[in-house]
């Protein structure tokens, strides 16, 4: 098992979440994987039983019960649960309510530019390196300077496209400090595969210090 899952960790793993949105996505991934696995085993057991049993008379369970239960009631319950969970976790990645920090993201062929709030009139901008504070709600206003790209930090949450002429906003909330990695998730030309960036999640005070330091260097 550890051999099979050996490639699933690391700084870009959606299965090792370090953010609220990614944790929601990882939870539903495991729930669906285990749920469908159990269901498949159960169905396989029924199938084996049907094929190999000696008594060929119809089962005692009514076909009506099986059809209504398996064809109407079960899908209704599963789809309703998925819908409620999906809407709730989807909303947590939308800019609803005040954010603690807003970062302007601009995608270029083939790099990323990140613009942080001004500090005493100095504008801090980084390229291919995104610095964030832990435990804060952060809105990313995502723009593109040329073609369609897609902003994605798998350990933090879902991905959102950068579309010419539009600003798309994604909210992420890092829950762990550390160094992670993001990647453009929309084919955008010859160097698309190289359009990755580092993500550094700091303690809040360390982030403030970093921002001050960068602003000081700009002056
Ligand atoms: Cu791109």
Q: Kindly state the helix (H) or strand (E) to which residue 130 belongs, with its residue range.
A: strand 129-133
Identify the CA nearest to 160 among candidates 175, 177, 139.
Answer: 139
Ligand 1 geometric centre to CA of 182 (Å): 11
Q: Report the share of the chain in percent with pLDDT over 90.
A: 77
The per-residue pLDDT for range 149-199, each reduced to its tens digit, is 999 999 999 999 999 999 999 999 999 999 999 999 999 999 999 999 999
Ligand 1 geometric centre to CA of 111 (Å): 7
Ligand 1 geometric centre to CA of 122 (Å): 28
> Please, are residues 113 and 208 in contact by the beta-carbon 8 Å criterion?
no
The per-residue pLDDT for range 94-151, each reduced to its tens digit, is 999 999 999 999 999 999 999 999 998 889 999 999 999 999 999 999 999 999 999 9
Ligand 1 geometric centre to CA of 110 (Å): 6
Q: What CATH code is assigned to 14-57+93-219?
A: 2.60.40.420
Ion ligand 1 — residues with CB < 5 Å: 149, 184, 188, 195
Average pLDDT taken over every residue of the chain: 92
Ligand 1 geometric centre to CA of 10 (Å): 22
Ligand 1 geometric centre to CA of 22 (Å): 21
Ligand 1 geometric centre to CA of 106 (Å): 10
Q: Tokens 């260097």 identify what position?
A: 217
Ligand 1 geometric centre to CA of 208 (Å): 29
Domain ranges in the chain? Answer: 14-57+93-219
Task: Write the secondary structure of 16-55 as one string of H (helix), E (strand) and C (coil).
Answer: CCCEHHHHHHHHHHHHHHHHHHHHHHHHHHHHHHHHHCCC
The pLDDT-based confidence of 50 (bands split at 50, 70, 90) is confident
- What is the predicted pLDDT for the residue at 145? 96
Ligand 1 geometric centre to CA of 195 (Å): 6
Tokens of 216: 């000081």
Ligand 1 geometric centre to CA of 142 (Å): 12
- What is the predicted pLDDT for the residue at 65? 82
Ligand 1 geometric centre to CA of 132 (Å): 21
Residue 1 has pLDDT above 90, yes or no: no
Distance of CA 5 to the CA centre of its chain: 19
Ligand 1 geometric centre to CA of 149 (Å): 4
């Amino acid at each position: 098992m550890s051999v099979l899952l050996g490639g699933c960790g690391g700084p870009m793993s959606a299965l090792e979440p370090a953010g609220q949105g990614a944790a929601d996505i990882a939870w539903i991934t495991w729930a669906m994987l285990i749920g469908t696995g159990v269901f498949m085993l159960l169905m396989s057991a029924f199938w084996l039983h049907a094929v190999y049993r000696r008594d060929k008379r119809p089962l005692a369970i009514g076909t009506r019960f099986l059809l209504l239960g398996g064809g109407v009631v079960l899908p209704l319950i599963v789809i309703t649960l998925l819908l409620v969970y999906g809407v709730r976790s989807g909303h947590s990645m939308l800019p609803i309510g005040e954010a603690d920090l807003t970062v302007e993201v601009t995608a270029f062929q083939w790099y990323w530019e990140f613009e942080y709030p001004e500090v005493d009139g100095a504008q801090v901008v980084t390229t291919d390196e995104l610095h964030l504070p832990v435990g804060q709600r952060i809105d990313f206003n995502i723009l593109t300077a040329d073609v369609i790209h897609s902003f994605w930090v798998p350990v933090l949450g879902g991905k959102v496209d950068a579309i010419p002429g539009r600003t798309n906003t994604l909210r992420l909330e890092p829950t762990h400090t550390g160094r992670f990695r993001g990647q453009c998730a929309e084919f955008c030309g010859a160097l698309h595969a190289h359009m990755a960036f580092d993500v550094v999640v700091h303690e809040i005070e360390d982030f403030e210090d970093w921002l001050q330091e960068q602003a000081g260097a700009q002056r």
